[in-house]
């Protein structure tokens, strides 16, 4: 417990020191800790909620914003505000109608209030493109450190999560060890994330961002750190043994090759050649991938069963919300699936399940069809902002918006395979990217408009001078 208190003090002091000159300078530090720190780093307040480092970082940033950040913040309109208000209103109605009001109220704080407060603070504080790049760099460094922790898991059979009290561990083996060992797949690394799939999700989102930074970054020391982090990320995503993140990485890499026309293309080709060389030099790697694919198509294996479970899950969720009009509209309440479970007919056996490997199904079950529509409209509106900015800007300014679009698309795709929206650091990462997409669009398009106005103004002055002459 003393260790956790010390960590939280370090976070508060780091943010306060970084914000001495400007609150904007503290944003990369804030995002670094948000990605790096695990859910195990928390203080449990009995009967209320857990005070983890994510909440501490957010509250500290809010206090700093109220103290001196508001005078330096931009006063432009806040995009997505209307959809957020609608989503909050519906989440409150769903909470009132919930099967467990206390559980839903806690989820309302973590899944709605925290994310939207994060968005508000970032969008209101970011005024420079350089700040955006520094935020992304800080996040990638955090993911690089997480990948190092994954190396330690594999070769030392030791998890960094062991430094925290055992009663705070998120385990899958009866509380014996935070290492994730699965029959048929062996050790799957999770680093500081709650589950290997969630770590894989974060890696799949990070790899395109790291490749883009490498294509524009000039500082030699930082480029070396980025290359090391990138290599470790590819190794770590392989060691998660997670099919969804693998597929998402391939899809994101393909989109990156199509949409970004700079050195990223060369890097992708080199990575593809290196991957082919590894498969030829190490047949065991190919055997592992092929074996996982074959197991996915075998319903009698645990891997194949987990794949088929998602179809049974979707059917059970749709049937559950159809039972009465109130549930179809408002759902069963935020957080109730994991808390109360749902009876699912899977492989001709009806039993109660407490894990939902499809976050879109969770949205439907917990907030009804209206709630699903509202959250989808909100998330895809942010995606549209990134794509619209990519379409409006000329290259190379448009490439960064393309990368944000690709990373967010990867995250939305991965929500089909795991309930990762509000469980783990990758949910915060997604909302950081949403905030960045909005801020980058505002800053760059505004600068472009100002430049156009200046050019038009100079043209009019030249015409006036000619007229006078």
The per-residue pLDDT for 294 is 59
Least confident of 73-77, 159-163, 186-190, 424-428: 73-77
**Arithmetic mean of pLDDT, 290-297:** 59
The per-residue pLDDT for 428 is 95
The per-residue pLDDT for 177 is 86
Least confident of 2-6, 174-178, 414-418: 174-178
Q: Is 150 exposed, middle or buried (0-12, 13-18, 19+ CB in 10 A)?
A: buried
Residue 455 has pLDDT above 50, yes or no: no
pLDDT band at 457 (very low <50, low <70, confident <90, very high): very low
The per-residue pLDDT for 460 is 41
Structure tokens of 251? 């899809």
Identity of the highest mean pLDDT range in 37-46, 233-242, 284-293 = 233-242
The per-residue pLDDT for 448 is 58
pLDDT band at 94 (very low <50, low <70, confident <90, very high): very high
* Three-state secondary structure of 376-423: HHHHHHHHHHHHHHHHHCCCCHHHHHHHHHHHHHHHHHHCCCCCCCCC
Helix (H/G/I), strand (E/B), else coil: 163: helix
With pLDDT > 90 as the criterion, what percentage of the chain qualifies?
Answer: 59
Who wins on pLDDT, 167 or 136?
136
Half-sphere exposure for 282 (CA within 13 Å, toward CB): 8
The per-residue pLDDT for 1 is 76
pLDDT tens-digit series, residues 373-414: 999 999 999 999 999 999 999 988 999 999 999 999 999 999
Half-sphere exposure for 306 (CA within 13 Å, toward CB): 20
pLDDT tens-digit series, residues 333-343: 999 988 888 88
Residue 463 has pLDDT above 50, yes or no: no
Name the residue with tokens 């059979």.
157
State the average pLDDT for the chain.
Answer: 87
Count of all residues that appear for the chain in the document: 469
């Amino acid at each position: 417990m003393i260790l956790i208190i010390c960590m939280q003090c370090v976070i508060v002091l780091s943010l306060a020191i970084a914000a001495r000159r400007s609150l904007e300078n503290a944003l990369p530090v804030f995002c670094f800790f948000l990605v790096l720190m695990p859910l195990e780093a928390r203080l449990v307040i009995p009967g209320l909620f857990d005070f983890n480092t994510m909440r501490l970082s957010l509250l500290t940033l809010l206090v700093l914003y109220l103290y001196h950040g508001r005078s330096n913040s931009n006063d432009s309109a806040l995009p997505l505000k209307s959809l957020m208000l609608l989503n909050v209103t519906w989440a409150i109605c769903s909470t009132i109608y919930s099967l467990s009001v206390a559980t839903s109220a806690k989820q309302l704080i973590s899944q709605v209030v925290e994310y939207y407060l994060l968005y508000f603070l970032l969008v209101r504080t970011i005024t420079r493109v350089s700040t955006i790049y520094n935020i992304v760099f800080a996040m990638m460094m955090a993911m690089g450190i997480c990948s190092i922790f994954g190396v330690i898991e594999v070769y030392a059979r030791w998890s960094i999560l062991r430094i925290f009290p055992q009663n705070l561990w998120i385990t899958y083996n009866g509380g014996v060890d935070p290492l994730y060992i699965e029959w048929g797949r062996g050790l799957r690394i999770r680093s500081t994330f709650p589950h290997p799939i969630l770590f894989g999700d974060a890696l799949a989102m990070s790899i395109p961002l790291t490749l883009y930074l490498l294509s524009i970054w000039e500082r030699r020391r930082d480029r070396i750190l980025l290359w090391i982090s990138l290599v470790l990320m590819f190794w770590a995503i392989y060691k998660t043994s997670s099919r969804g993140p693998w597929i998402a990485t391939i899809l994101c890499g393909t989109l990156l090759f199509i949409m970004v026309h700079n050195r990223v293309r060369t890097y992708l080709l080199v990575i593809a050649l290196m991957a082919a060389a590894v498969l030829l030099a190490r047949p065991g790697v190919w055997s592992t991938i092929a074996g996982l694919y074959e197991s996915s198509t075998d319903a009698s294996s645990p891997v194949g069963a987990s794949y088929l479970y998602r179809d049974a899950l979707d059917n059970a969720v749709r049937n559950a919300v159809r039972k009465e009009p109130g549930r179809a509209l408002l759902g069963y309440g935020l957080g109730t699936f994991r808390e109360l479970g749902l009876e699912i007919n899977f492989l001709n056996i009806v039993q109660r399940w407490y894990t939902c490997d499809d976050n879109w199904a969770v949205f439907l079950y917990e907030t009804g069809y209206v709630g699903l529509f509202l959250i989808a409209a909100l998330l895809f509106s942010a995606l549209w902002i990134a794509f619209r900015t990519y379409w409006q800007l000329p290259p190379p300014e448009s490439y960064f918006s393309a990368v944000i679009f690709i990373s967010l698309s990867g995250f939305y795709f991965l929500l089909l395979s795991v309930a990762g929206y509000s469980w783990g650091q990758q949910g915060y990462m997604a909302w950081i990217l949403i905030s960045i997409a909005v801020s980058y669009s505002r800053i760059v398009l505004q600068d472009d408009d100002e430049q156009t106005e200046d050019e038009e103004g100079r043209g009019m002055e030249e015409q006036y001078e000619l007229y006078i002459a």
